[in-house]
Structure 1
Amino acid sequence: MATFRQDPLLAIARIVLTFLLGLAVFVGAAMVLAAPVMLIFRDKVFAELAAQHMTVPHGAFVAAVVAILLMIAAMAAMAFLWVRHLRRIVDTVGQGDPFTPLNAVRLRAMAWLTIGIEAISVPIGALVLWIGTVTEGNDVDFGLSFGGVLLALVLFILARVFRKGAEMRAELEGTV
């Protein structure tokens, strides 16, 4: 672990990743808590919408908002796992041994988590678009993120690179 303490970039990365882990927990918890709050205070929400002369279908609106909150909580949970895998990879770099089969598994898991996050963003976007159409005066835009798909592809490739690197190192150690 001495190498980790000597490399300021790895130390900064670990601090940032730890902050991101906390942020993911906070966002996930806030969304899980907000869902029942929305159900409890739905009458106040509709009263506010009515005060702005907006008529929305009550049941569908509440269901859509609660679904969005819970899907965001799921995305936050996946983001937590994603960042935790990355922090563990950073730790192995600091220890001087990044090309391990476990890091290849972590990278592949990160790729699948990225795909999961992107997949959940589609129904969230659709629900947000619907909410924008039923609440007058709200201009909502939604688009797919090709950056997330590209990130998943890069992570799958890096997972193979790490797996092959670990295999080559094991082979080399076996011949020495």
Structure 2
Amino acid sequence: MTEVRHRDPLLTITQFLLRVVTGLIALTAVVVALAIVALILFPHQQLVPRLSADNTLWWVVTAAMVSLVLLTLYLSFTLTLSRIVATVGTGDPFQPENADRLDRMAWLTLAMQGCLLVLAPMVGVIASRIDGLRGDFDVSPDGFILALVLFILARVFRRGTQMRDDLEGTV
């Protein structure tokens, strides 16, 4: 396919926003990783009394590690989405790679939901052990619905690629 001659403002804005979000996720992941190390190696003296009871420190560290995994999954998701948007910008989105990318994004979404299902009760336990913290953390079915939509879109892209290849073979 040929390059798209004009710039689509929606694609340009989307790519810009994806870059910003990807950068923010990466920065947050670095901060969380540093916080995990700091909690383990250099516990803050004012926090120690609040975190020492009932192994609360290890609950916090474990929740931070799950959060780090979650951020890594979000990072992979946004990078994959950015690659799909780039192919749309070239005018040829129906590529086998995009179907694979959509499948990957669906699996990433399911993994993110799994992390949230693990993280939600951990936040509740931590909040119950530290005075003044609230443990409101809701998990919604939206991520599971998004995963289903992405799996279906992957099949649509595979079928669209096959149809285009069949059409080009008959010409």
Provide closer, same or farther for how the CA distance between residues 148 and 65 of structure 1 changes in structure 2, counting only shifts above 3 A.
same
Equivalent runs, 1:127-138 vs 2, <5 Å:
127-138=122-133
In 2 relative to 1, CA 5–25 (structure 1 residues): closer, same or farther, beyond 3 Å?
farther
Q: Alpha carbons of 1:25 and 1:5: their partners in 2 closer, same or farther (altered >3 Å)?
A: farther
Unaligned runs of 5+ in 2: none
CA RMSD in angstroms, aligned pairs only? 1.8
Q: Any idea what SS the aligned residue of 2:53 has?
A: coil
Provide the residue aligned with 1:70 in structure 2. 65
The structure-2 alpha-carbon separation of the partners of 1:85 and 1:40, relative to structure 1 and needing over 3 Å to count, comes to same
Instruction: Select between 134-143 and 91-100 the one with higher mean Cα deviation.
Output: 134-143
Report % sequence identity: 37
Does residue 116 (structure 1) correspond to residue 104 (structure 2)? The answer is: no
Normalising by structure 1, what TM-score?
0.89
Structure 1 residue 56, shift from structure 2 partner: 2.7
Aligned letter for 2:160? G
Q: Quote the Cα distance in structure 2 between the aligned partners of 1:128 and 1:24.
A: 20
1:155 is the counterpart of 2:138 = no
- Give the deviation of 1:139 after TM superposition: 3.2
1:8 partner amino acid: P
Match of 1:56 among 53, 58, 62: 53
Q: Is the Cα–Cα contact under 8 Å of residues 106 and 146 in structure 2 kept in the other structure?
A: yes
Structure 1 alignment gaps of length 5 or more? none
Q: Does the CA-based 8 Å contact 2:3-2:91 persist in structure 1?
A: no
d(CA) in 2 for partners of 1:63, 1:4: 55
Q: Which amino acid aligns with 1:134?
A: R
Structure 1 residue runs of 4+, over 3 Å off? Answer: 136-139
Q: CA deviation at 1:43?
A: 5.7
Maintained 8 Å contact 1:56/1:135: no
State the TM-score, normalizing by the size of structure 2. 0.91
Which amino acid in structure 2 is aligned with residue 120 of structure 1? C
